Amino acid sequence: MSEIRLSQSALRHNIAVLTEKAPIHKLFFVLKDNAYGHGIKEYGSMCLQNGIKSVVVRDTEEALMVSDMFETILVLAEKTDFLKHDNIHYSINSFSQIHRIHPGTNVHLKIDTGMHRNGINPDELQEALDLIFSKSLRLRGVFSHLKSADELGSQSFWQEQCFKDIKKSVIAYCDGRKVVRPLFHLYNSAGLFRANGIGEFDAARIGIAAYGYLDIPSVFNPPELKPVLSLWGDKIASRDVKAGERIGYGGIALIEQGGKISTYDVGYGDGFFRISVDGSYVLPGGRKMLGKVCMDCIFVDCEDDSICVFDNALILANRYKTIPYEILVRLNHKIARRITS
């Protein structure tokens, strides 16, 4: 059976790199969308073993899957189910959410500082805070999201300035009411390295860097991270092919020299991209993938019992003109995840 292998040593390396910029207790690891395809339970257990205390998930369903592992679980987007739970916190993205959340629920108020995706407009801050406290919600955090921290330009600077002003206003509001100040978090993976730390904020939300990837301009001193995930396939069958024969759908792969080829149990049904391959994609072990990817298998010019299909999503992302995120999150949740040393 195909499987996904998760490297503990790679994760430990990445955490060591990240904690050079911020203490581990100030890092929220993002486990949303099945931990970027790594498997939320498996990756969550790895994070727990390595000292991570706070995580971010997509919805309540994911929060409940790791509710017994972490001190703080921030749910980014939820439409219907809100739980009054000691360690589950909810992002407030709109005024309608404030009206629907149960009194006593832990919340983090999101501010739209320029991305214009989710969050309260800065000029609505006072109104939002008044409503939060009138509804007896527990304001545990205030945050925003950088839209271009991984690019050169001044947009992140202006978002930071906006959020710093928000922080001052929230502190003044809370101090005036004599209530506990919330945590303030703005930086993502790229933002943490762009700013060389969390600066005057209380935490950073670490997504793709936790999994071993970060594409930022060299001027920001990109870290040397290690991909945690590798995808492996098991052999289904082997056969002899003759020179001049064609294999697979459309027969696009021409066999130039006779020999052995095998099929392996990884295909686009497992989330691996379907693409016509002319033999230029070389697997990590040096073997070539041949022909078109099928729903449930691929052709490879070997007869090994198992093969590593990829161990660096960036290589595939460059090939398919996308980003590592898309390669990773597409991986079928039914594929077994196994933690390795």
Asked whether 166 and 113 are in contact (CB, 8 A), the reply is yes
Lookup: tokens for 154: 């001044």
C-alpha 79/C-alpha 59 separation (Å) is 9
**Cα 231 to Cα 5: distance, rounded to the nearest angstrom:** 6
Residue type, 273: F
Q: Are strands 276-277 and 259-264 parallel, antiparallel or unpaired?
A: unpaired
Tokens of residue 29, six digits: 């690891």
Catalytic residues: 32, 249
